[in-house]
Amino acid sequence: MTSIYDFSMKSINGVNKNLSDFKGKVLLVVNVASQCGLTPQYQGLEKAFAKYQSQDFAVLGFPANEFEGQEPGTNSEIQDFCRANFGVTFPMFEKIIVKGKDQHPLYKYLTETEPTAQKKAGEDFEEVLKGYGIRRENQKDILWNFEKFLIGRDGKIIARFAPNVTPDDPMLIQAIESALK
């Protein structure tokens, strides 16, 4: 695999979607969950999508349940939750596995291509999780819900951001705006 465009995924309502349909757009790929302390990031993701959509930007949400069971819902329940609570209109995909032995090939590609996430200044989220007894086995693994991959118009990964780098964080906004130029 040479870019994100080589993958085909199922949308949250079960329709096959080639990621090549997003060619030429800047993408923010995010593993999401409905019962996480970071779930309010849905609001910021939707706000970023609304702000930059006209410049060929999209957020792609991938629900995952690998982190303390914080995404137990069905695809239909997840979609209803996102719409009702956060007005989500950006593309959402079916629930997938983002780490471990059954890791989806898309996330295997993402984590192997960009093994390290940029951290929020002055705040090491991995250390916070360790304080709760949560440790990741492999350094390349997705750390937690709401980890983000910024993809350029060419389908290549520009950067990976830690889960606590919120959609309105200046570091992420600067990276998005730079990619859109």
Centroid of chain to Cα 43? 14
Of the candidates 81, 48, 66, the residue with the CA atom closest to the CA atom of residue 150 = 48
Q: Are strands 26-32 and 57-63 parallel, antiparallel or unpaired?
A: parallel
Q: Rounded distance, CA 130 to CA 34, Å?
A: 22
Told to judge if 36 belongs to the known catalytic residues of this protein, a careful annotator would answer yes
Half-sphere exposure of 143 (CA within 13 A, CB side): 24
Q: Cβ–Cβ contacts within 10 Å for residue 56, how many? A: 14
Exactly one of 36, 129, 158, 173 is catalytic; name it: 36
Phi and psi torsions of 99, nearest 5°: -155, 160
Catalytic residues: 36
